[in-house]
C-alpha cells in the first residue's frame, strides 16, 4: 500500500489538531477504521477521499505528495491551487469555498486577504483576455461587421478607462479626429473617451462640434443627451434624445436614457410609458428575454405612481 498516503493522513490530522475519534465522527466511520488508514493497513473508499480532503483543508492530490501542507481552511488551499494554475475552473472552486467561509462568519482577516488576492489574480486574467478578444475584433476591421467593430472599440476604451488608462484613449482619439477624420464614429469615440474619463465638459464641447459636422448621426445625440444629463442640462438632454429618435426611431438606447432620467425626476408616469413602449417593441420582435427588464421597470414605476 502507499506509505506516503497513510503518513499524510496522519500528518494532516495532527496538523488540524483532530483526534482519530473526531475524524471518525465527521466521516461516519469508526476510530479503528481511521487508525487502520493511518497504519497503512487499509485504504479509505475512493468516494470518501474528497470529504477527507475537505476536512483536512487539502486536495485529494495532496495525499500523494511528500511535501504537502495542511492549510488553515479548505478555501485557502483551493486559493493556492488557483494561484499555481490560474485556471478559471480553479478560481470558481475557491470562490465557492470562500463564500461559504464568509457566510459562516468563521473567517479571519488573513482569509479576507487571501480572498482578495484570489480575485486580483482573476481580475488580471479577465482584463488580459478581454483586451485580447477586443483586439481580435478590431483587427478584422469594419468590413466583417461595422456595427460590432465600433461597439467593440468603445467597449475596449471603457475597459481601459476602468483600469486607469483614460488618457491613453483621449490621446489616441484626439490624434485621429484632429487629422481631419470624416468618420463620425471616430468622433463618437472621442466623446466617449472624455465621458469615460469623467471629463464631461470636454465631452460636451466635442459633442457640439460633432453635430455641426455630422448633424444626421443619431448615435451622437444619444451620447450628447447622456452628457447633458451628467452636466444637469436636463432640457437639452431630452432634446438630444428626442433628436436621436427622430433620426432613428428604433434607437433603444435613447429610450432607456429618457426612462431613467424621468425616474430620477420623479416623473413615474412618463417613465412607465417608456418602459411599456420598449417592452412592446421587444415583444413584437420576439425578444422575450429582453422584455423582462422594461416590464420590471414599468412595474416599479406603477407602484410609485
Q: Report the distance separating Cα 249 and Cα 254, nearest Å.
A: 9
Residues 86 and 65 in one domain: no
The pLDDT tens digits for 3-39 are: 888 888 888 887 777 899 998 999 999 989 888 888 8
Please tell me the pTM assigned to this model: 0.75
Q: Report the distance separating Cα 296 and Cα 302, nearest Å.
A: 10
Q: How many domains does the chain have?
A: 3
The pLDDT tens digits for 191-221 are: 999 999 999 999 999 999 999 999 999 999 9
Domain boundary, last residue among 126, 143, 164: 126
* 23 domain-assigned: yes
Domain boundary, last residue among 70, 85, 115: 70
The pLDDT tens digits for 261-271 are: 999 999 999 99
* 112 domain-assigned: yes
Residues 180 and 249 in one domain: yes
The length of the chain is 305
Give the residue numbers spanning the domain of 35: 1-70
Residues 66 and 96 in one domain: no
Residues 107 and 153 in one domain: no
> What's the alpha-carbon Rg for the chain, to the nearest Å?
29
Residues 166 and 243 in one domain: yes
Domain boundary, last residue among 31, 47, 70: 70
> Among residues of the chain, what percentage have pLDDT more than 70?
97
Q: What is the per-residue DSSP string for 164-197?
A: T-HHHHHHHHHHHHHTT---HHHHHHHHHHHHHT
Nearest to 245 by CA among 290, 281, 191: 281
Amino acid at each position: 500500500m502507499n506509505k506516503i498516503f497513510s503518513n499524510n493522513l496522519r500528518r494532516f490530522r495532527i496538523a488540524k489538531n483532530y483526534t482519530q475519534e473526531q475524524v471518525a465522527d465527521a466521516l461516519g466511520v469508526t476510530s479503528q477504521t481511521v487508525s487502520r488508514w493511518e497504519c497503512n493497513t487499509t485504504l479509505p473508499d475512493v468516494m470518501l477521499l474528497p470529504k477527507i480532503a475537505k476536512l483536512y483543508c487539502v486536495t485529494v492530490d495532496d495525499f500523494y505528495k511528500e511535501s504537502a501542507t495542511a492549510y488553515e481552511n479548505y478555501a485557502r488551499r483551493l486559493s493556492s491551487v488557483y494561484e499555481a494554475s490560474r485556471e478559471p475552473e480553479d478560481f470558481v472552486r475557491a470562490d465557492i469555498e470562500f463564500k461559504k467561509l464568509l457566510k459562516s462568519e468563521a473567517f479571519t482577516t488573513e482569509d479576507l486577504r487571501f480572498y482578495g488576492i484570489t480575485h486580483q489574480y482573476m481580475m488580471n486574467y479577465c482584463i488580459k483576455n478581454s483586451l485580447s478578444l477586443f483586439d481580435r475584433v478590431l483587427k478584422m476591421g469594419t468590413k466583417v461587421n461595422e456595427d460590432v467593430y465600433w461597439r467593440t472599440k468603445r467597449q475596449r476604451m471603457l475597459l481601459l478607462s476602468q483600469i486607469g488608462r483614460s488618457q491613453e484613449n483621449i490621446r489616441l482619439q484626439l490624434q485621429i479626429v484632429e487629422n481631419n477624420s470624416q468618420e463620425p464614429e471616430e468622433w463618437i469615440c472621442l466623446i466617449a473617451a472624455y465621458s469615460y474619463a469623467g471629463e464631461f465638459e470636454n465631452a460636451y464641447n466635442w459633442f457640439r462640434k460633432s453635430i455641426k459636422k455630422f448633424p444626421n448621426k443619431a448615435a451622437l445625440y444619444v451620447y450628447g443627451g447622456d452628457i447633458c444629463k451628467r452636466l444637469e442640462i436636463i432640457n437639452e438632454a431630452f432634446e438630444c434624445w428626442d433628436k436621436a429618435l427622430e433620426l432613428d426611431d428604433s434607437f433603444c438606447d435613447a429610450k432607456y436614457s429618457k426612462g431613467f432620467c424621468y425616474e430620477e425626476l420623479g416623473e413615474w408616469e412618463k417613465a412607465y410609458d417608456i418602459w411599456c413602449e420598449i417592452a412592446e417593441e421587444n415583444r413584437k420582435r420576439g425578444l422575450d428575454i429582453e422584455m423582462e427588464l422594461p416590464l420590471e421597470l414599468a412595474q416599479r414605476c406603477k407602484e410609485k405612481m
